Amino acid sequence: MNTRQIFWTAIATCALLGGCGPSTSGSASSSGGSTGGGAKLTGTVDIDGSSTVGPIMQAMAEEFGKSNPDVKVTVGISGTGGGFKKFSSGEIDIADASRPIEEKEIAACKEKGIEFIELPVAFDGLSVVVNSQNDFLEDITVAELKSVWSPDSTVKTWDQVRAGFPKEPIKLYGAGTDSGTFDYFTKAINGKEKASRSDYQASEDDNTLVQGVAGDKFALGYFGYAYYEQNKDKLKLLKVNGVAPSPETINDGTYQPLSRPLFIYVNKKSLDEKPQVKELVKLLLTGGKDLIRTVGYVPLSDEDYKSVEDHMNKGTTGTVFRGAETGIKIKDVLSGSKSK
């Protein structure tokens, strides 16, 4: 296990438990509440990025809209990389991300004078799935996944994965190259971000991948746990190295190496000048745990959410998660302690 994977394992042990199913991108009307001084919230909040984090933010937009009907919240799912491109050009207020921001994305923000605040909001475990009619596979190893997904893989049929499997062609479905899921999966399985074979059905929309695997008897795919939860009647979930993803195994760090934290990145100017943005993020950090469970993810602990909220209120900009050392807790990373 590399240091980055160990780090995510250490973080994952701080989480609580999670539950059910996501939706696609879209918009929800919200506002009508107040800023605490009695003023009615109006305006817009523009969000885009990870299809994994998207369901959380869509749920939050809908909840926010119950008391804030005059604010329009839009939630897109162009993938983590796609979201950061829009974020760094000033097109959106919040970027959803299933990985920490990269150096080139930080540089793009700096070039446009965009300061950002990095906020971890939940945990996820990537699910490896096959078609529900698959009757020969229950558990797959990391080594077998690497044999299938590595850039130089020559695996074309199932019998090349393991002796005794049928000599049937494998149809592969996975995250698109703009997706943080793609970055994390390739790093965890192949040892390097973006190192992957290219002859597979790729999409930044996990619903598209669900439909692909559900429609092909000999398919193999991967995407966020919540999308499996919503579609468990259509798919078969595989164990990885003997462990299946669940709220418990994502919580305790035993589902490795495919457990990971999820983030939002907030434009500091939007946070300072658009009260509707701050109120939406505050709702997520102080009252979002049940919604996070409902859409199939694992919330942080109360202590960690308090640390994240304090981090936001202090207006601390930049990334503290990229390059952090292993074995430290969320509250320690946010306080600036990057070593054990």
Per DSSP, the three-state class of 139 is strand
Given this model, what pLDDT does residue 254 score? 85
Mean pLDDT of 56-69: 96
H-only helix segments in the chain:
3-12, 54-67, 80-88, 103-111, 142-149, 180-190, 206-214, 225-230, 247-252, 268-273, 275-287, 289-294, 302-314, 330-334
Q: Which pTM was predicted?
A: 0.75
pLDDT band with cut points at 50, 70 and 90 for residue 273: very high
Given this model, what pLDDT does residue 65 score? 96
- Of the spans 29-33, 68-72, 225-229, 335-339, which averages the highest pLDDT? 68-72
Segment 173-214, tens digit of pLDDT: 999 998 889 988 999 999 998 999 999 999 989 999 999 999
pLDDT band with cut points at 50, 70 and 90 for residue 300: confident
Q: Which residue has the higher pLDDT, 83 or 183?
A: 83
Given this model, what pLDDT does residue 339 score? 41
Q: Which residue has the higher pLDDT, 153 or 254?
A: 153
Mean pLDDT of 127-138: 97
What is the DSSP code (8-state) at residue 159?
A: G
State the pairing for strand pair 235-237/239-240.
unpaired
d(CA 60, CA 71): 13
- In the predicted model, what is the mean pLDDT of the chain? 86
Given this model, what pLDDT does residue 17 score? 37
Given this model, what pLDDT does residue 11 score? 45
d(CA 75, CA 52): 12
pLDDT beyond 90 at 219: yes
State the pairing for strand pair 116-131/235-237.
antiparallel
Given this model, what pLDDT does residue 5 score? 45
d(CA 80, CA 77): 8
Per DSSP, the three-state class of 76 is coil
Mean pLDDT of 37-59: 91
Given this model, what pLDDT does residue 37 score? 53
